[in-house]
Amino acid sequence: MDNTVVTTITSLPKRPWFWAFAASALAFIATLSLTEGGGGGELLAAALTFASFSAIVGIGQMFVITLGPGNVDLSIPSTMTLAGTLSLKFMHGAAGLVLPGLGIALAVGLGAGIFNYLLIRLLRIPPIIATLSASFLYQSLAIWSNRGLRVKPPQILADFTTGSVAGVPNLTILGILLAVISWIVLERSIFGRWISAFGQNTRAARLSGVPVEAVRAITYVSSAVFASLTGYLLASFSGGAALNMGTEYLLISIAVVVIGGCSIAGGNSNVPGIWGGALLMFLIVSMLNSYGLGAGVRLIMTGTIIIAIVAAASGKDRSA
């Protein structure tokens, strides 16, 4: 038993998600050092809350990136904005419309995902160009429907997104639940094996009977649905939908996938690492803000830290 525990502990650094969580712990400690250990509970709660948004969109982006080189969803920010705007406008603060409002948000994601796939499949447009082009359309629709108004969410929905259970934020519980479901799909289902086969060698996957176009379609739809759900939650959490609410999540959704240990080359997903990357992204910014660094310095140091984490994880992966 003791040997098993020792072996497990010594093998942790070889796991692709280990370095993201290790760096998150260091960033957490560094931030707390400025307050002499005070405010740790508040910082942890904030990290878990804001990391939830990054983790949810990151999971969707991970599905797409697992398909292999060239596959990335650049329409995530505008899908978030459109879903948040239309759902809150529909609910108009009415508690009885919370679930229909959620349905509106998910329908936006479903429509966006299908449209993205059709651009890629029917028009033979590269995924990066297709999703980037589609993002302008979704953002335009959000601007047209918003008309400068900021509709508040129903109070019961605002209370849920800002509330907690036994000290754990509700959004974190939801994010972990979605991560567990995604892990089961990717690691324990035939669809997960199809995605990995697609990312490793699309031609071989097709010849072996994998329905590659169905896999691609479901994957892009999944990414858009995760984005629309995040937009619905973020708009409710922040007191209304803003036209720039999804902007920062374009790079974050990709960064958490890379930092978390997923392969940009495709064919290899890593759900636990998404949460590690999401926590790290928030804690790095918090740490640098705590040290009073300017925006330019924060960006440089953030990029440097991310590169170091990815390099360390890649080095361990090659030596494993």
> Distance between CA 175 and CA 159 in Å, rounded?
17
Give residue 13's pLDDT. 64
Q: How many residues are present in the chain?
A: 320
* 3-state DSSP helix/strand/coil % of the chain, to nearest 5: 75, 0, 20
Q: Which of 34-43, 198-207, 225-234 has the lowest mean pLDDT?
A: 34-43
User: In the beta sheet, which residues pair with residue 166?
Assistant: none
pLDDT exceeding 70 applies to what percent of the chain?
A: 87
Q: Is residue 164 one of the residues assigned to a domain?
A: yes
Query: At residue 265, does pLDDT exceed 90?
Result: no
pLDDT higher at 18 or 153: 153
Give residue 212's pLDDT. 93
Q: Is residue 73 one of the residues assigned to a domain?
A: yes
Question: What is the tens place of the pLDDT at every residue in 123-140?
Answer: 888 999 999 999 999 999
Q: Which pLDDT band holds residue 225 (cuts at 50, 70, 90)?
A: very high
User: Which CATH number do you get for residue 315?
Assistant: 1.10.3470
Query: At residue 83, does pLDDT exceed 90?
Result: yes
Give residue 38's pLDDT. 59
Q: Is residue 9 one of the residues assigned to a domain?
A: no
Q: Is residue 2 one of the residues assigned to a domain?
A: no
- Average pLDDT value for the chain: 86
> Distance between CA 52 and CA 105 in Å, rounded?
18
Judge contact between 224 and 73, C-beta under 8 A: yes
Phi (first) and psi of residue 270, to 5 degrees: -155, 90
How many domains is the chain partitioned into structurally?
1
